Amino acid sequence: MRFSATLCRAQQSFQRDRAANANLPNARMIAGAAAIAWEKEALSAEGREKRQSRMALIADTIAADMRLSSREFDRLGSENPDREFPSD
């Protein structure tokens, strides 16, 4: 499962607080390691989200370029596409 960067940052903050407030050294160490792991996951999620937004922008641009205007679409159905239709 892929987590959002927001969730990862929230978990990182929670684990850092847990590590800072832990009484036992072992609990402090585990929470600190968990905070580091969540930070790595957050960085990965941020990169993934940036790539997804870039790909969506590229896909939208390509889709807009591929859309035919109604006049161009009408010309595709003509037996003589080299001739213009009279203007409306």
Each residue's pLDDT tens digit, 6-63: 999 999 999 999 999 999 999 999 999 999 999 999 999 999 999 999 999 999 888 8
Q: Which domain, by its residues, includes 51?
A: 5-76
* Residue 41 within a domain: yes
* Residue 87 within a domain: no
In angstroms, the CA 88 to CA 28 distance is 77
* Residue 57 within a domain: yes
Lowest mean pLDDT segment, chosen from 2-6, 32-36, 72-76: 72-76
The number of domains in the chain is 1
* Residue 29 within a domain: yes
The answer for residues whose C-beta is within 8 angstroms of residue 38's C-beta and 6 or more apart is 8, 9, 11, 12, 15
* Residue 88 within a domain: no
